[in-house]
Amino acid sequence: MSAAGQELVVRVDRTRCVGTGACTWTAPEDLELGPDGRARPLRPVSDDRPGLTEAAEMCPVEAITVLSAASGEVVAPL
């Protein structure tokens, strides 16, 4: 996999999000709680695969999806 292939995009389903904030502790450079108490991405692409994978897997309402920026494939949760 090339370096560009390591780039990830995180998406938050803001309807599902119940604002537990767990993801903002796991991946603080990529996710924050907005003023409406819902999580939102902080940057267009990220390389924090461990942090984002854990954020997606641990989200109690499965509101987080992590995709490969290059292929659009789902990286987490799997």
- Residue closer to another protein by CB (options 8, 64) is 64
Q: Please, are residues 36 and 55 in contact by the beta-carbon 8 Å criterion?
A: no
Q: With contacts defined by CB under 8 A, how many residues of the chain interact with another protein?
A: 17
First to last CA, the chain: 19
Contact set for another protein, span 38-57 (CB under 8 A): 57
Token readout for 35 is 């003023």
Least Cβ distance, residue 78 to another protein (angstroms): 9
Where helices occur in 1-78 by DSSP H, the ranges are 22-26, 49-58
Name the site residues for another protein (rule: CB under 8 A).
15-16, 18-22, 25, 33, 37, 57-62, 77
